[in-house]
Amino acid sequence: ARPVIAIVGRPNVGKSTIFNRIIGDRLAIVEDKPGVTRDRIYGIGEWIGRNFSVIDTGGIEIEGEDSLLRSIRMQAELAIEEADVIIFMVDAKAGITNADEEVAQILFRSGKPVVLGVNKVDNLQRMDDIYEFYSLGFGDPVALSGSHGTGIGDLLDAAVHKL
């Protein structure tokens, strides 16, 4: 089986945008599990000769779950279960939020390898915005712009290195 890379983070940081950048048109068909909708969230990625599955965890809809924090928590836990490497996505424009810190704690406790991606770094003036994310404790943040497609190679270098 292919190794699995999961993209985790609170809503609106750009997970689906980066997911689409990684998979292109290689969407995978996956049957839903009872209580969990998971079609449209699995894709196939390839980088420097490595093939892997990618999960956009934000697309996992958990039936009956209406609390945002609990939903983010459950998505992170599902990702941890399935993933070999986790891409933890945050938003340079928003800075660190409580929900980001919640996700960080869950990921930290899991002991799974994590790559920290800071999205919405749309121009070089924004590069300074990535430094605050060192405090999340996952090492060097990788600057990304899903809008422009920049940083994806660096992100996949870091993720594949940890597989």
Measure Cα distances from 103 to 60, 81, 123, 152, 154 in Å.
16, 14, 26, 22, 22
**Is 97 annotated as ligand-binding?**
no
Residue 79's Cβ-count burial label (10 Å; 0-12, 13-18, 19+) is: buried
Partner from Mg ion, ligand GDP, none contacting 155, C-beta within 5 to 8 A by type: none
**Is 17 annotated as ligand-binding?**
no
Smallest distance, ligand GDP to C-beta of residue 49, A: 27
Contact flag: residue 14 with Mg ion (CB under 5 A): no
Smallest distance, ligand GDP to C-beta of residue 1, A: 25
**In this structure, what token pair is assigned to residue 121?**
């770094």
Partner from ligand GDP, Mg ion, none contacting 8, C-beta within 5 to 8 A by type: none
Which residues in 50-79 contact Mg ion (CB under 5 A)?
Answer: 58
**In this structure, what token pair is assigned to residue 136?**
């999340």
**Is 145 annotated as ligand-binding?**
no
Residues that bind ligand GDP (CB under 6 A): 9, 11-17, 58, 119-120, 122, 145-147
Measure Cα distances from 22 to 54, 102, 103, 110 in Å.
8, 26, 22, 24
d(CA 109, CA 69): 17
**Is 15 annotated as ligand-binding?**
yes
Contact flag: residue 9 with Mg ion (CB under 5 A): no
From the annotation, which residues make up the binding site for GTP? 9-16, 56-60, 119-122
